[in-house]
Amino acid sequence: MDLAIEVSGLRKTYDKTHALRGVDLSVRTGSVLGVLGPNGAGKTTAVRVMATLLEPDGGTAKVAGFDVVKQPREVRRRIGLAGQNAAVDELLTGRENLVLLGKLLHLGRDGARGRAKELLERFDLVAAGDRPVGTYSGGMRRRLDLASCLVGHPQVLFLDEPTTGLDPASRQALWNTVRGLVDDGVTVLLTTQYLEEADYLADQIVVIAAGRVIADGTPDELKRKVGQEWLEVAVALPDRTPDALSVLGPLAVDTPTVDAEKGLVKLQLRDGMDGIAAAAVALRDAGVDVADFSLRRPTLDDVFFNLVGHPTDQ
Amino acid sequence: MTTLDVPTAQTPLAPVTEVLAIAGRRLRRLRRNPGRLVGITLNPLITMIALGYLFSNAIEIPGSTNYIEFIFAGVVMQVGLASIGPTAIAVALDVQGGLVDRFRSLPISRSAVLIGHTIADLAISLIGLAVVTAFGLLFGWRSHTGFLPTLAGFALVAVFIFTVLWVGVLLGMASRNLETIESVGGLVAVVFSFMSTGFLSVEKLPGWIQPIAQWNPVSSVIAACRELWGNPVADSGGFPAENPSTVILVSLGTLFVVTSYLSVRRYRNA
């Protein structure tokens, strides 16, 4: 298997905090790895090590075939990095930002200008290209930031929480762009706090907590580990909760969980769509008025709670 | 699938291109935000006007009646000293905003970014120096030597500015707190410029400040400039006054080596 990123036993300690306590990762060339984890889990530290910004205290990391400690320059020639802040110069125009990077990458004056033009077109920034970045919206800034990473045609792209703070439309646009890059053969490692984002973009996911990988797999595998979707019924009059429970009980895999005060019943249904229909009919036949009837999926919170062993809501 | 061509390998002139690209960025920023130039020009101008114009009759310099010629060398030092704070803040903002991370993730020379910064800032300071000199001429400052010694004096000022800019770079790399930087930068500018022989002769200063002023490297640069421009020299006595070139060479040389080394080291590990 052709690996674009190979990380094993990565350790990093700041003062007395263990940011990374032996992280292993591997990413196939041309695929997307989503790194999930709560704040302070070590996601950014891991990215900084892989992007040659930080030397690890232990373990090895190879990116695009080169060791990040022994051959950082070779790694740098093949990567693009978009950190948590959009690392663009506010006083320069979008075009000037891109031309600057082109010059730094020795594309020459004309080469840098040509590349800037291409990228502005690709990222839908032509109209804003000659305005100072300070006037850009959050979404435009992110697009420019991503464009900035691509000036040198990287083989491996590190995106550290690329959509944090973006509105849904900008987020979707950025996702499409990342998809497009992957279609072009770029390998992407992205960190995120949104399961939805990892679900949409990632071929593989690792979950990091407290500096360790606590789970990995495809999005589907991970979701299965955490649990199936469940039905959540809110009874209009909480004192009818026992009635709802008695008719829903037979349809559930396990005993449903109940919050009598709020009139909430949660259960995992035995058989998909039929189960939903049966539950709805049973409630109507029992004459129980329902305020909310919905199918819920595990959230990232559930993933974390489930994986680190704390009791979940469910 | 597009071709994934890898940026070309290092050539001997590559760092020059990188330094120029970074310097170009700083100069473009100046066009949109000329605050830096205004600050480093106004600071010395105000000193020159306050001291040279308002107080010129109140302050006596032994062996000379021309106070503006006496203080001019001290005034131009302030162009350099006033640049420390703004340079530090610019560097700190680049670190905070993630630009330094981006530059560090590129296959470019480790020192190109900081050298590019200081070269651009030097160019900006030289514009400030030209404005201050023009006002100096207006207020009556003259050089009484030839073209070459006069030029040598300004070259020395330029070397001084370039050296202290590295103090600003180090300050910006070392502290992320903009308020700290601002106050430290201001303090350095005031202490080094007024605890020198720039505006008073040594014997007019309070006793405990006299040795500080004598050994302040800024005093040595001022003394050398006065010599090169044929301006009144107030003999401050002691080793530094007798050997200004040695003091300048050793102090600026050490300062440059230490600050640039520490700055680049911090940049690598930022």
CA distance A272 to chain B (A): 41
Nearest to B101 among A79, A87, A105 (CB): A87
Among A84, A87, A86, A75, which Cα is nearest to A7's? A75
Cβ-in-10-Å burial (0-12, 13-18, 19+) of B41 comes to buried
The C-alpha atoms of residue B113 and residue B130 are separated, in whole angstroms, by 26
- Indicate if the pLDDT at residue B3 is higher than 60: no
List chain A residues with CB under 8 Å of B10: 73
The C-alpha atoms of residue B163 and residue B172 are separated, in whole angstroms, by 15
Where exactly are the structural domains of chain A?
A: 3-225, 228-297
**Tens of pLDDT, residues B161-214:** 999 999 999 999 998 889 999 999 999 998 998 888 888 888 888 888 888 888
Q: Is residue B122 part of a domain?
A: yes
Q: Do the chains contact at A76 and B105, CB–CB below 8 Å?
A: yes
How far are the Cα atoms of B53, B76, B141 from residue B57, in angstroms, in the given order?
A: 8, 21, 16
The single-letter code of the amino acid at A145 is D
- Indicate if the pLDDT at residue A312 is higher than 60: no
Nearest to B1 among A79, A107, A184 (CB): A184
Question: Can you spell out the DSSP letters for chain B?
Answer: ----PPPPPP-TTHHHHHHHHHHHHHHHHHHH-THHHHHHHHHHHHHIIIIIIISTTT--BTTBS-HHHHHHHHHHHHHHHTTHHHHHHHHHHHHHTTHHHHHHTSSS-TTHHHHHHHHHHHHHHHHHHHHHHHHHHHHT----S-HHHHHHHHHHHHHHHHHHHHHHHHHHHH---HHHHHHHHHHHHHHHHHSSSSSS-GGGS-TTHHHHHHH-HHHHHHHHHHHHHT-------HHHHH-HHHHHHHHHHHHHHHHHHHHHHHHHT-
Nearest to B7 among A55, A92, A106 (CB): A106
Largest CA distance in chain A: 77
Contact status of A44 with chain B (Cβ, < 8 Å): no
Q: Do the chains contact at A185 and B1, CB–CB below 8 Å?
A: yes
Q: Do the chains contact at A106 and B14, CB–CB below 8 Å?
A: yes
List chain A residues with CB under 8 Å of B6: 77-78, 153, 155
List chain A residues with CB under 8 Å of B101: 48, 51, 53, 81, 83, 87
The single-letter code of the amino acid at B240 is P
Identify which has the larger pLDDT, A220 or A116: A116
Q: Quick one: what percent of chain B has pLDDT higher than 90? A: 60
Q: What is the mean pLDDT of residues B61-71?
A: 78
8 Å CB contact between A105 and A61: no
The C-alpha atoms of residue A264 and residue A269 are separated, in whole angstroms, by 15
Contact status of A135 with chain B (Cβ, < 8 Å): no
- Tally C-beta pairs within 8 A across A and B: 99
**Tens of pLDDT, residues A150-159:** 999 999 999 9
Q: What is the mean pLDDT of residues A52-60?
A: 93
8 Å CB contact between A230 and A306: no
Nearest to B25 among A92, A153, A184 (CB): A92
Nearest to A83 among B17, B18, B101 (CB): B101
Among A293, A299, A282, which Cα is nearest to A232's? A293
pLDDT reported for residue A313: 37
Q: Do the chains contact at B18 and A104, CB–CB below 8 Å?
A: yes
What's the pLDDT band for B75 if we cut at 50, 70, 90? very high
The C-alpha atoms of residue A217 and residue A225 are separated, in whole angstroms, by 10
- Indicate if the pLDDT at residue A57 is higher than 90: yes
Q: So what CATH class is A3-225?
A: alpha beta
CA distance B44 to chain A (A): 27
Per the prediction, chain A carries an average pLDDT of 88
**Tens of pLDDT, residues B218-248:** 999 999 999 999 998 876 667 887 788 899 9
Per the prediction, chain B carries an average pLDDT of 89
CA distance A168 to chain B (A): 24
List chain A residues with CB under 8 Å of B117: none
Lowest pLDDT segment from A108-117, A274-283, B231-240: B231-240
Q: B68: which 2 tokens?
A: 């503006």
Q: What is the mean pLDDT of residues B78-107?
A: 93
Q: Do the chains contact at B97 and A52, CB–CB below 8 Å?
A: no
Q: Do the chains contact at B105 and A81, CB–CB below 8 Å?
A: yes
The C-alpha atoms of residue B4 and residue B1 are separated, in whole angstroms, by 9
The single-letter code of the amino acid at B236 is S
Q: From A103, which residue of chain B is nearest by alpha-carbon distance?
A: B21
CA distance B36 to chain A (A): 14
pLDDT reported for residue B7: 61
As for how many domains chain B has, the answer is 1
The C-alpha atoms of residue B266 and residue B259 are separated, in whole angstroms, by 10
Among A209, A193, A182, which Cα is nearest to A46's? A209
Q: Is residue B239 part of a domain?
A: yes
Q: Are strands A58-63 and A3-14 parallel, antiparallel or unpaired?
A: antiparallel
Q: So what CATH class is A228-297?
A: alpha beta
Full-prediction pTM beyond 0.80?
yes
The 3-class SS string of chain A reads CCEEEEEEEEEEEECCEEEEEEEEEEEECCCEEEEECCCCCCHHHHHHHHCCCCCCCEEEEEECCEECCCCHHHHHCCEEEECCCCCCCCCCEHHHHHHHHHHHCCCHHHHHHHHHHHHHHHCCCCCCCCCEHHHCCHHHHHHHHHHHHHCCCCCEEEEECCCCCCCHHHHHHHHHHHHHHHHCCCEEEEEECCHHHHHHHCCEEEEEECCEEEEEECHHHHHHHHCCCEEEEEECCHHHHHHHHHHHHHHECCCCEEECCCCEEEECECCHHHHHHHHHHHHHHCCCCEEEEEEECCCHHHHHHHHHCCCCCC
pLDDT reported for residue B4: 46
User: What are the residues of chain B with a beta carbon less than 8 Å away from any beta carbon of chain A?
Assistant: 1-8, 10-11, 14, 17-18, 20-22, 24-25, 28-29, 32-33, 96-99, 101-108, 269-270
Contact status of A196 with chain B (Cβ, < 8 Å): no
pLDDT reported for residue B105: 94
Phi, psi of A11, deg, nearest 5? -130, 145
The range of the structural domain enclosing residue B196 comes to: 15-24+33-268
- Indicate if the pLDDT at residue B120 is higher than 90: yes
